[in-house]
Structure 1
């Protein structure tokens, strides 16, 4: 036993020192990637078979044939009922066995819309509204147009691959065109992949003729704008546990979201490649060649130098959604209309979380909670990592360190705080552990090829892995969250799912072998990128079963398209250095446009010990990211906010208080995200699509269209350059106001902003009204009925508008209309306040102050009018603005306020 533990610790230690690239494949070491990448362009081997076209009211089908091996495939194209979206499916006509189709990523089955089809000699055209798909027979290609503008072209480079299932050929059988040495079995390091079904890769290229920049396909520690992969490995999508991941890298990380966007000054489009197998994506940024551009212009030919992507997956089918925009927001919404949005979280979950691996015991938890109060620093949630369990047995507690967890939980909730505990998917192989015993007896584990329970190594030592694709296993796992089963927790305790890529310390590439078997007789290679998604789904089902009217809170590391419906994410095991701070913005921006608005990074860095300056700047950045959690590795020094001394403590305290003051805005944005599908955190190109300078900027970001955030993420600087974008191609821009001073900025371009150690450069856009709460308490739960402040920043026309959303901050009653959603509009020196829908949630909260910036002159007074009754209000100077004191209106009232001159 001691030797086993020693070997496990040695394995983990060696792995954790730094990224060992020899543990992870390159494209050249991956047989299917190597084969797909070696396909020569402009020589497509696929063509439509004449006479096979079938036209229906909502779709067309036809047969495709590989021109060399004569294998036949089915093609189906649908125009969806939702705006400007097509779906393309290709599968084998008569496969030796069924190929895997992803069924769990979409929120529901998309509804096809009506179409019209016009047949030609060598092509046919599918029309849906202002959109059309022109399908060319030979070589096979599909051109998608929006308003007669070519927007996306499929297989324009002729890189399509579809390796049909086949029996293994005899040795040296020249009749089989696939001769790659890794096609039928593959070895990597000491691991063997049996590949019982042989080569089965699928690949397709997509060109974006209107695009200047491509972005998407998280998760990578790279820039927001995707880089060319010429001369390098492609971007890899293969959920993998990577300690201390390196930056500016295309290597795979914890999540895989295969949606890619192409954006240009005139339009945006996207493709969602729905495949859960290992996937590589080549990016051609298509640096414009002057000579070829002139030739194309003169000849009137299609643009051949368009930015393009080549998706290559190991197995499955071709299942692609083509999203035609035309604006960035349109495209983002089209994607989330397919995969869903995050449900509105509870208020406390968007406040501050305090975590480390691990808080030692109950006394330690009580001490940390008490110190936050002692230093008047707000904090809502304490987190428990794996050491809280009894020997890494999940759903248990260490009885020596945590003898009274219910008492500990009660002490936290008594002061308005919450607890989150970790539950990972690896199960300790211990016959005395109830969960392992039950999974063994009932057959709930992932299996080896010979039908035995798969066994790997993770934190508990020898472990097996729950097969979350099995509905019975998923239901059993979910039932463990019931109060009758998880007796040492309450329904207010929420969950952290980690290591669910899945992480297997002694497995190939630190994960599960591809030839193990899941429910339904699917190989792991078919579903790998979905495993963490199904884990999060199972946890969500468990928390819903535990308390159907309380919104679950689940943090997951592994994720796929659609996981946002169940859980939020973070950027994983980052480092305490400036580069990782900078990449927390780049990575969360990319996740946000891929459906994951609720994203954050371990504040301070998971590995290493940040110095005071980095610690301060990371808290200032985290205060404006959607998920805000401080977390640290087991071997780091303690780093609660008071550890660094008074100066740092006060700077961190101010950053936290700023976060809490904006919680009404955050809550409103999360509600609007669920309703509209629009991301909360946004790249500048979202609202400034014609400003090319803004396309690749990823050191600043927007929160909706209300705040522009450019944190200080460089060491030792006394000023930062903030880019204020142009709203059109004539260099006109918005008015911006510094949120601390309300100083106006009216120019377009880079502005040098002086910064002190306590400065967070954040700017409110002119034309917006933002709700705040400025009475900061120890936890957000205690601020529920506190009054609001409205900050009105006027645009050049003297106008502004905004919204405020209010409900009970906990239950699903809001979905039954029990909420208040309020619209503010300022125009002609008058503020009008009206509900959107009915005001059904009763609250004592009221408006205690209104700040207005951008007025040309100071009014003498203001008049409040409610139901025809007038009341005079006092107006006072407020820096470069004015403040209306104590209007005293309820958030359930309809009223207006007029400025008097």
Structure 2
């Protein structure tokens, strides 16, 4: 009897602590989400305006046009000095009011890089170091290449949506404009008939939307990636799951202590960054199971090398004390790893200024197509033979036993 009462109390307590999901909108309850999901692929609406391309030392600008409603947008694609990366910005050319832009997301403005531009008839190519961006004019699309490998395609499916700000239409008084029906017409291309597009309610909250519907959407494709990671913190698998037919991942910053496991529900962290992992990347992993992340600080690393079709891969490791702001004083290590011509080469980016007891336990390599006879570790000119074993569809180089702070390379012998 006591056990039954205890279980009943426990179940009631557990129920009381369960998160109330009705406090958060679903996609079906959000007008902008419904509208964006109604957009069909392979029906692109945007194109570059001919004759508007401007080329600068670090960037290009051009005008974009919505082919249905003829609204103009400004495009800027700029190169950044760090790692020869690119930044893409799109905004209305003459907005009804400036849109909100995130502040204080970066410690400082990134340093601009330098570019070279080659213009073609229907596209142009922007090169920054070993990387490049190929911009197609009509339909608008951007393909980003890293060392001639296509890594990200923007608007490849033609799902780009950018609802421009507009004044709320006024309802005419009875009989007004009766003699001129055309005055009441709304351009068909601008019609948004989803309920909630102009005003929306959720529980006690009312959104008056004084500037109308303003949803933005853009599709990104990762041709070389097998899995994706990132966006909001969630109590689910590390690899992101398909959201087809279900609610999408939402970038909420949720200040609740209850959460549901195996759910896309957002938790505290909501950083809009996404990583594609597949051929061409090297991922450092710590595989020891611990009760807390702090206990993993000096655990050994497994380097997972996933080769692309050219037999190459790259990756980085960042190390600091994981608790202070001493990285601002330069107390960190930034390590670059590169696999090419059957050699894993590891060097520092910048000057190393942090000590750690972490070490390399093994190196897993996938995509070789054949099994090496052996591997050779080379440090400061000295060499050591390492054991190689089959590992799934690849091979594992066992126990290099070297500090993660050392400069070294591992050569595969066939």
* TM-score normalized with structure 2 length: 0.69
Distance 1:190 1:60, change over 3 A: same
Who is 1:767 aligned against? 400
3-state SS of 2:218 partner: strand
Q: 1:250 aligns with which of 264, 283, 302?
A: 264
Contact 1:96–1:165 (CA under 8 A) maintained in structure 2: yes
Deviation at 1:57, TM superposition (A): 1.3
- Quote the Cα distance in structure 1 between the aligned partners of 2:389 and 2:205: 59
Who is 2:332 aligned against? 675
Who is 2:252 aligned against? 238
- Quote the Cα distance in structure 2 between the aligned partners of 1:160 and 1:201: 10
- Quote the Cα distance in structure 1 between the aligned partners of 2:45 and 2:247: 25
Q: 1:185 and 2:236 equivalent?
A: no
Q: 1:726 and 2:352 equivalent?
A: no
Who is 1:807 aligned against? none
Deviation at 1:802, TM superposition (A): 5.6
- 1:734-753 CA distances to partner (integer Å, 9 max, x unpaired)? 99xxxxxxxx9974548xxx
- Quote the Cα distance in structure 2 between the aligned partners of 1:138 and 1:111: 31
Stretches of structure 1 lacking an aligned partner (at least 5 in a row): 1-12, 269-326, 330-584, 590-616, 628-664, 680-685, 690-702, 709-723, 736-743, 751-764, 769-799, 804-822, 826-901
Deviation at 1:727, TM superposition (A): 2.9
Q: 1:226 and 2:240 equivalent?
A: yes
Who is 1:706 aligned against? 359
Contact 2:297–2:358 (CA under 8 A) maintained in structure 1: no
3-state SS of 2:332 partner: helix
3-state SS of 2:234 partner: coil
- 1:595-633 CA distances to partner (integer Å, 9 max, x unpaired)? xxxxxxxxxxxxxxxxxxxxxx99744552459xxxxxx
3-state SS of 1:219 partner: strand
- Quote the Cα distance in structure 2 between the aligned partners of 1:21 and 1:80: 41
Contact 2:123–2:137 (CA under 8 A) maintained in structure 1: yes
Who is 1:403 aligned against? none
Who is 2:227 aligned against? 213
Contact 1:154–1:204 (CA under 8 A) maintained in structure 2: yes
- Quote the Cα distance in structure 2 between the aligned partners of 1:166 and 1:704: 58
Deviation at 1:51, TM superposition (A): 0.9
Contact 1:767–1:801 (CA under 8 A) maintained in structure 2: no
Distance 1:258 1:667, change over 3 A: closer
Who is 2:154 aligned against? 154
Who is 1:64 aligned against? 64
Q: 1:194 and 2:208 equivalent?
A: yes
Distance 1:704 1:97, change over 3 A: farther
- 1:723-742 CA distances to partner (integer Å, 9 max, x unpaired)? x762353466999xxxxxxx
Deviation at 1:226, TM superposition (A): 1.1
1 or 2, which has the higher helix percentage? 1
Contact 2:320–2:332 (CA under 8 A) maintained in structure 1: no
Contact 1:145–1:151 (CA under 8 A) maintained in structure 2: yes
Who is 1:93 aligned against? 93
Distance 1:687 1:238, change over 3 A: farther
- Quote the Cα distance in structure 2 between the aligned partners of 1:221 and 1:726: 27
- Quote the Cα distance in structure 2 between the aligned partners of 1:189 and 1:626: 45
3-state SS of 1:68 partner: coil
- Quote the Cα distance in structure 1 between the aligned partners of 2:14 and 2:322: 46
Distance 1:42 1:824, change over 3 A: closer
Quote the RMSD (CA, aligned, Å): 3.8
- Quote the Cα distance in structure 2 between the aligned partners of 1:164 and 1:102: 19
- Note the 1:26-425 alignment, pairs <5 A: 26-170=26-170, 174-175=186-187, 176-265=190-279, 267-268=280-281, 327-328=282-283
Deviation at 1:179, TM superposition (A): 2.0
Count of residue pairs the alignment pairs up: 327
3-state SS of 1:34 partner: helix
Deviation at 1:149, TM superposition (A): 2.2
Deviation at 1:767, TM superposition (A): 3.2
1 or 2, which has the higher strand percentage? 2
- Quote the Cα distance in structure 1 between the aligned partners of 2:404 and 2:43: 54
Distance 1:620 1:55, change over 3 A: closer
Distance 1:619 1:140, change over 3 A: closer
Deviation at 1:104, TM superposition (A): 0.8
